[in-house]
A = this chain, B = another copy of it.
Amino acid sequence: MDSDSVKALVFDTFGTVVDWRTSVSRDLAAFGARKGIQADWLAFADAWRAGYKPGMDTVRSGQRPWANIDVLPGLRRLKQRYIISTFSNGSVPCLVNMAKHAGLPWDAIYSADIVRHFKPDPEVYLGVIGFFDLPPEQLMLVAAHNGDLRHARSHGMRTAYIQRPTEYGPAQSKDLGAEDDWDVIVPGIDRLADVLLGSQLPFRRR
C-alpha cells in the first residue's frame, strides 16, 4: 500500500480513539463520591457497555470521553495530509459533543445515523465511500476491532489496526492483537501518524 494513495482516514471511535472504560468509570466514581455511593465502577462500566447494543443514543447524556495525549497529536498530524473522520455507530450528536469536549479535530462526522444502519451492515461501509465520494482504496478505516476491519476490507477499503488489548479491561478476550495482515498495525494513533507520514518505515504493503 502506498500511503499517498489514501485520501481519507475514517476512525472507529469508541475503543479506538476514546477510552470509554476508564473515563466512564472515573466519572461514575466521582459521582459516587459526591453521593456517598460505594461500588466497583469498572465493573459498572463493563455492565453498562454490555447493555450498549445496538445503539448508543440512550447513553448520550452519560458520555464524557477522554482522549489521551497520544491521540490528539496523532489526529492533528494526520489532518495535515488526510481527511480525518469518525466512522462510528455512535449518534451524530454524541460524536459532535464528544469532539467538542475532547478537542478531537475531525474534518467530518460520519455516523451510522446517516445511513440508518449499524455496523457491520454493508450500508455503513458503502455509505462512507459515497459520503466522501472516493474510490474505496482511497479510504482507510482505523479501528481497534478486527471484525470492523474485515468488513472494511471486504468493501475494498484500506485498513489500520490500533492495538487496544485492554479496551474492555484486563479480562478482555477478543481483539487482543491483529488477526489479519492489515495494511498498518500500530499500538496507537500517534504511531499511525508516524507510519503514514513517513517518519517511520516500513509499513506493510499489499
How many copies of the chain does the oligomer comprise?
2
Instruction: Tell me the minimal C-beta distance from A107 to chain B in angstroms.
Output: 5
User: Could you say which of B83, B99, B131, B133 contacts A100, with CB atoms under 8 Å apart?
Assistant: B83
- A interface residues, how many (CB within 8 angstroms): 19
- Which residues on the B side are within 8 Å of A134 (C-beta)? 93
In whole angstroms, how far apart are the Cα atoms of A59 and B196 in the complex? 30
- Which residues on the B side are within 8 Å of A96 (C-beta)? 83, 107-108, 132
Task: Please indicate which of the listed interface residues A79, A107, A132 has the most CB atoms of chain B within 10 Å of its own CB.
Answer: A107
**CB of A92 within 8 Å of the partner chain:** yes
User: Could you say which of B93, B108, B133 contacts A109, with CB atoms under 8 Å apart?
Assistant: B108
Contact of A133 with B91 in the complex, beta carbons under 8 Å: yes
**CB of A137 within 8 Å of the partner chain:** no
In whole angstroms, how far apart are the Cα atoms of A57 and B132 in the complex? 12
**CB of A46 within 8 Å of the partner chain:** no
- Which residues on the B side are within 8 Å of A113 (C-beta)? 131
In whole angstroms, how far apart are the Cα atoms of A87 and B89 in the complex? 23
- Which residues on the B side are within 8 Å of A114 (C-beta)? 114, 131
Which A residues are closer than 8 A to B by beta carbons? 57, 79, 83, 91-93, 96-97, 99-100, 107-109, 113-114, 131-134
Known: A93-B132, A108-B109, A114-B114. 9 other contacts (CB 8 A): A79-B100, A83-B96, A83-B97, A83-B100, A92-B132, A93-B134, A96-B108, A96-B132, A113-B131
